[in-house]
């Protein structure tokens, strides 16, 4: 059954994703960012005549195909700046002519891969909980975050702002309330959320924020410029606006992959050897005037309610997929700390807190807290100290047994539970597959928390107090059937005091 809506650019046709939910996919929110528009800020979408068919996801942004199953961009796929909408087909709010809270989702992927079409991000269950759900694609990799002389930086963030403007101007047509928008994201998407909290250009476009496992690294202009020169050299072009524009998007993706591979193979490259992420928001003083932690500590966005979550074992996923260097000896662990400028007392503290763990586990616990866990806590605490409402939670659900490989409470594992997509077999590497009754009950609780937070600013547990007296993790997401013999979770150990000597945000040298 066709379902039609009218946007400012033209009419669109969606479809019934289920009896009670309508989905409209691949709606352009900005013009294709190629040709003369390449490396520029986003431009308004091109109007169309008639009714545009929006029953399939739009093209993905140019990105690496090195990862198994990664989506592939081709030169004909120019409409990469699109949004998808899920909205209840009927219900009390619709019957009364009212509008529902809106949740806008930014995908993760180290600013270099991923898309809104991933199965984790289907908005059907959240829409059924009473939200209008919007997910978006934005420029990633060099197209979105690479330094191009004379061109705006942080183009991926500017795309996200354009999607929020589209939401403000069009979402009422889909039953959403443009005055009650929650911006949510995971990993680099969550860090993007915190960046937008710090950006004047995004002020007023959203009213609440959800950040699951925000990543700490940000780049200085010097680092971004040096990376751009390395990528240009690998692509065989000058590191100028003209030279980089003359290289195809595929050529810059391939060149970026070569630079990453070179860092991974060279232990002398310091912190880049352990975490060869090339792209991150750039603290350029223009598009992004300050890092999110400093901005929140100064009171930016204190009127925006903030809900953060981290997983207990973040970096075990990166290890499982080969996304970080293996550290198996104490000597290598000490070198790791030196390369990141971490005090020896921090490493010794983790060793003492995990006396029976192998060195590799100590490294993963430390790295996960460096990149995700400690940054997550500091964001919430900085926000609370200036009077903002900040809620903290931790995902600790783990699975193993019945001949299945163990699935830890690792990076990304929380997302299918919060979206209610854990039954999708394609996500078994995150969830363990075959979810039981306890898993579904956990998912319902997380969906309800997001829906309530988006509607009222209250997810169901106390916020942090300004004086720090409220426990920092008032909600731990866990099922009632955790294996009794599961080893203790390293991140649940009292290690936060060890971080007092470490300055944030983490910047690559």
- Catalytic residue status for 338: no
Q: Compute φ and ψ for 396, nearest 5 degrees.
A: -130, 20
- d(Cα 295, Cα 291) in Å, to the nearest integer? 6
Q: Using an 8 Å Cβ cutoff, are 212 and 373 in contact?
A: no
Among residues 186, 273, 411, 508, the one annotated as catalytic is 411
Q: Using an 8 Å Cβ cutoff, are 308 and 380 in contact?
A: yes
What is the DSSP secondary-structure string of 66-96? -STT-----TT-----EEEEEEESSSHHHHT
Among residues 187, 213, 277, 393, the one annotated as catalytic is 187
Q: Angle, nearest 10°, between helix axes 344-353 and 330-339?
A: 140
Which residues, at least 6 apart from 333, have a Cβ–Cβ distance to it below 8 Å? 327, 347, 359, 362, 363, 366
- d(Cα 37, Cα 396) in Å, to the nearest integer? 44
Token pair 């079409």 in the structure block, residue: 117
Which residues, at least 6 apart from 237, have a Cβ–Cβ distance to it below 8 Å? 243, 244, 246, 247, 251
Among residues 313, 314, 374, 381, the one annotated as catalytic is 314
- Catalytic residue status for 187: yes
- d(Cα 202, Cα 198) in Å, to the nearest integer? 8
Q: Using an 8 Å Cβ cutoff, are 390 and 384 in contact?
A: yes
Which residues, at least 6 apart from 446, have a Cβ–Cβ distance to it below 8 Å? 414, 417, 418, 477
The DSSP 8-state label assigned to residue 200 in this structure reads G
Q: Which secondary structure element, helix H or strand E, spans residue 334, and what is its range?
A: helix 330-339
Separation of CA 479 from chain center: 24
Cα torsion through 221, 274, 336, 345, rounded to 10: 70
Q: Which secondary structure element, helix H or strand E, spans residue 14, and what is its range?
A: strand 10-16
Please list the active-site residues.
187, 314, 411
């Amino acid at each position: 059954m066709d379902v039609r809506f009218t946007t400012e650019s033209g009419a669109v046709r969606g479809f019934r994703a289920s009896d009670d939910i309508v989905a409209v996919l691949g709606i352009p929110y900005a013009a294709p960012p190629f040709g003369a528009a390449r490396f520029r800020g986003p431009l308004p979408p091109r109007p169309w005549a008639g009714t545009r068919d929006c029953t399939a996801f739009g093209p993905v942004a140019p990105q690496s195909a090195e990862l198994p199953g990664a989506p592939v961009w081709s030169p004909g796929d120019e409409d990469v700046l699109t949004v998808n909408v899920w909205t209840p087909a009927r219900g009390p709010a619709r019957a009364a002519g009212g509008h529902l809270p809106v949740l806008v989702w930014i995908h993760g992927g180290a600013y270099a891969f991923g898309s809104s079409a991933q199965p984790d991000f289907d908005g059907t269950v959240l829409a059924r909980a009473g939200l209008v759900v919007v997910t978006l694609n934005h420029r990633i990799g060099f197209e979105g975050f690479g330094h191009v002389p004379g061109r705006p930086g942080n183009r991926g963030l500017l795309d996200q702002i354009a999607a929020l403007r589209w939401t403000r101007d069009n979402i009422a047509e889909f039953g959403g309330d443009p005055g009650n928008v929650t911006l949510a994201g995971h990993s680099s998407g969550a860090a993007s959320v915190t960046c937008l909290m710090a950006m004047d250009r995004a002020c007023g476009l959203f009213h609440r924020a959800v950040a699951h496992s925000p990543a700490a690294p940000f780049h200085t202009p010097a680092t971004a410029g040096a990376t751009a020169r390395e990528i240009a050299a690998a692509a065989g072009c000058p590191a100028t606006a003209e030279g980089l524009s003359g290289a195809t998007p595929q050529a810059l993706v391939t060149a970026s992959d070569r630079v990453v591979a070179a860092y991974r193979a060279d232990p002398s490259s310091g912190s880049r050897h352990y975490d060869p992420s090339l792209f991150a928001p750039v603290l350029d003083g223009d598009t992004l005037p300050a890092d999110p932690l400093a901005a929140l500590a100064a009171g930016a966005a204190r009127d925006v309610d903030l809900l953060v979550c981290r997983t207990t074992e973040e970096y075990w996923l990166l290890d499982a997929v080969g996304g970080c260097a293996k550290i198996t000896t104490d000597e290598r662990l000490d070198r790791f700390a030196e390369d990141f400028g971490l005090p020896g007392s921090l490493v010794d503290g983790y060793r003492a807190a995990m006396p029976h763990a192998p060195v590799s586990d100590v490294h993963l616990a430390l790295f996960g807290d460096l990149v995700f866990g400690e940054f997550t806590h500091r964001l919430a605490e900085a926000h609370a100290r200036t009077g903002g409402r900040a809620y903290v939670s931790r995902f600790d659900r783990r699975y193993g047994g019945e001949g299945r490989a163990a699935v830890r409470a690792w990076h990304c594992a929380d997302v299918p539970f919060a979206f209610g997509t854990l039954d999708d077999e394609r996500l078994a590497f995150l969830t363990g597959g075959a979810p039981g009754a306890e898993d579904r009950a956990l998912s319902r609780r997380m969906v309800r928390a997001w829906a309530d937070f988006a509607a009222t600013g209250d997810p169901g547990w106390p916020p942090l107090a300004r004086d720090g007296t409220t426990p920092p993790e008032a909600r731990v997401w866990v099922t009632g059937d955790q294996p009794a013999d599961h080893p203790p979770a390293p991140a649940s150990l009292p290690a936060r005091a060890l971080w007092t000597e470490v300055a944030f945000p983490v910047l690559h040298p």
